[in-house]
């Protein structure tokens, strides 16, 4: 069901809570830009644009399937002063979640990393698979949650290192009213067998606002924060801006 033409504060507040739930019964199409600063000895910058639609389906009267797709488009500096531009590996997750939840909303399912990178320097050249889980609670105006996954390579180029990678994301948000939300998140990626630093972990403080573009609700986001952990020569802090197009059911 779509929003009425006259959108009320209650509508935007409910939408704001749904956008904080990675497995909400809400179709969304985010375009998320990330800019990393302080890379290497020359303090260069890298750019990552994530196209990451979320599509829920009813598998049964009691179970939903939420498909999440992340297609990263990357532009990264190299030690020689050039840049590597292109699509990186694509991540596909299918969460199975109860259609009705209690105090804790949860979902779990498989995650697959596809070797779609247009350059070997920004991809693994490996087909990887593993489990993913999300847990969250929304007491009052708060949203408190955790999303995580782990993938291992099962096929791919023989001359590339095996993939053994985790993603851990605790998050919290507070609804301020009128579709305005303040929050924070840590997005930690750990490469267990990497040399010279295993983790990249930005801490992001963000502000979100639901607004209307014509009759389409859009969640606009801005955020920034330091790297709590970074590999040798990695970035020191990150800035983010995003627009999430929402399609209420």
Mean pLDDT of 116-122: 96
Mean pLDDT of 120-131: 96
* pLDDT surpassing 90 at residue 115: yes
* pLDDT surpassing 50 at residue 204: yes
**Domain count for the chain:** 1
DSSP string covering 154-211, please? Answer: EEE-TTSPPPEEEEEEEEEEEEEETTEEEEEEE-EEEETT-SS--EEEEEEEEEEEEE
246 lies in some domain:
no
- Confidence label for 3 from pLDDT (cuts 50, 70 and 90): very low
**pLDDT tens digits for range 61-88:** 999 999 999 999 999 999 888 999 999 9
Mean pLDDT of the chain: 93
* pLDDT surpassing 80 at residue 1: no
CA distance from start to end of the chain: 4
Q: Give, in order, the Cα–Cα distances in Å from 46 to each of 20, 75, 86, 108, 138.
A: 27, 6, 12, 32, 34
Residue 226 pairs in a beta bridge with: 237
Please choose, from the candidates 78, 17, 86, 75, the residue with its C-alpha nearest in 3D space to the C-alpha of residue 42. 78
Strand blocks (E) in the chain:
26-39, 44-51, 54-60, 63-77, 83-87, 90-98, 105-114, 126-137, 142-156, 164-177, 180-186, 188-191, 199-213, 216-229, 237-248
Higher pLDDT, 10 or 25: 25
248 lies in some domain:
no
2 lies in some domain:
no
41 lies in some domain:
yes
222 lies in some domain:
yes
153 lies in some domain:
yes
Residues 19 and 210 sit within 8 Å (Cβ to Cβ) = yes
Return the pLDDT at 80: 84
Return the pLDDT at 10: 60
245 lies in some domain:
no
90 lies in some domain:
yes
* CATH number of the domain residue 210 falls in: 2.40.160
Q: Give, in order, the Cα–Cα distances in Å from 41 to each of 24, 65, 121, 141, 232.
A: 42, 45, 19, 43, 10
Among 10-24, 96-110, 148-162, the minimum mean pLDDT is found in 10-24
**pLDDT tens digits for range 230-246:** 998 899 999 999 999 99
- Find the domain containing 226 and state its range: 9-238
- Share above pLDDT 70 across residues of the chain, in percent, rounded to a whole number: 95
**pLDDT tens digits for range 161-186:** 999 999 999 999 999 999 999 999 99
């Amino acid at each position: 069901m779509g929003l009425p033409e006259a959108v009320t504060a209650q509508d935007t507040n409910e939408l704001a809570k749904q956008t904080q739930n990675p497995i909400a019964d809400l179709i969304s199409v985010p375009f998320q830009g990330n800019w990393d600063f302080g890379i290497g000895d020359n303090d260069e910058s890298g750019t990552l644009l994530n196209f990451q639609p979320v599509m829920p389906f009813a598998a049964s009267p009691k179970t939903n399937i939420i498909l999440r797709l992340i297609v990263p488009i990357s532009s990264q500096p190299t030690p020689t002063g050039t840049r590597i531009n292109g699509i990186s590996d694509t991540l596909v997750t299918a969460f199975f979640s109860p259609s009705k939840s209690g105090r804790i909303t949860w979902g779990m399912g498989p995650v697959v990393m596809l070797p779609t990178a247009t350059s070997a320097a920004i991809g693994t050249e490996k087909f990887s698979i593993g489990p993913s889980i999300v847990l969250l609670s929304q007491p009052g105006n708060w949203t408190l949650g955790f999303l995580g996954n782990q993938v291992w390579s099962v096929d791919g180029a023989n001359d590339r290192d095996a993939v053994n990678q985790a993603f851990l994301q605790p998050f919290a948000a507070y609804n301020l009213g009128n579709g305005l939300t303040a929050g924070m998140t840590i997005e930690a990626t750990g490469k267990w067998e990497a040399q010279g630093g295993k983790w990249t972990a930005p801490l992001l403080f963000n502000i979100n606002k639901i607004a209307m573009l014509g009759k389409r609700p859009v969640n606009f986001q801005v955020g920034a924060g330091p790297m709590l952990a970074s590999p040798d020569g990695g970035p020191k802090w990150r800035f983010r801006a995003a627009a999430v197009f929402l399609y209420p059911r």
